């Protein structure tokens, strides 16, 4: 799975344990609105950019849909945005920077995961 470099770094540091991805209308997309390609128990590699070698692997613990407006402080913490540093507002700023806007009614895929420590590339 591809992440921005700073988010991949948070995964390696154990600070990010969830990702939210926009639903796609393309049935071949891993984020297709009717089904997510990722499932609980599946492992995936963390890549800090397209075509960039993996930095670690993670195991999926939950997959579900959620409206962006339903996000709570704990959700932001799982995304790597600490409450003391803006939490949900910081996440929304990062989301807008990546996706252009934050629509609280937009439903997204949420994938929660745990780092596989022995997979970290030195």
Mean pLDDT of 6-13: 95
* Domain, as residue range, for 62: 5-72+104-115
For 32-61, what is each residue's pLDDT tens digit? Answer: 999 999 999 999 999 999 999 999 999 999
pTM of the model: 0.91
Work out how many domains the chain is built from and give that number. 1
The more confidently predicted of residues 115 and 84 is 115
In a domain, 99, yes or no: no
For 62-84, what is each residue's pLDDT tens digit? Answer: 999 999 999 999 999 999 997 66
In a domain, 78, yes or no: no
Per-residue pLDDT, 87 = 79
In a domain, 13, yes or no: yes
In a domain, 53, yes or no: yes
Work out the burial of residue 63: count CB atoms within 10 Å of its CB; fewer than 13 is exposed, 13-18 middle, 19 or more buried.
middle
């Amino acid at each position: 799975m591809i992440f921005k470099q700073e988010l991949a770094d948070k995964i390696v540091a154990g600070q990010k344990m969830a990702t939210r991805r926009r639903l796609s209308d393309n049935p071949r997309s891993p984020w297709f609105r009717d089904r997510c390609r990722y499932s609980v128990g599946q492992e995936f590699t963390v890549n800090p950019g397209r075509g960039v070698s993996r930095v670690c692997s993670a195991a999926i613990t939950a997959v579900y849909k959620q409206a962006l407006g339903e996000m709570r402080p704990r959700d932001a913490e799982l995304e790597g945005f600490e409450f003391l540093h803006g939490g949900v507002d910081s996440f929304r700023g990062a989301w807008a920077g990546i996706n252009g806007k934050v629509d609280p009614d937009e439903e997204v895929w949420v994938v929660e995961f745990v780092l596989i420590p022995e997979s970290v590339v030195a």
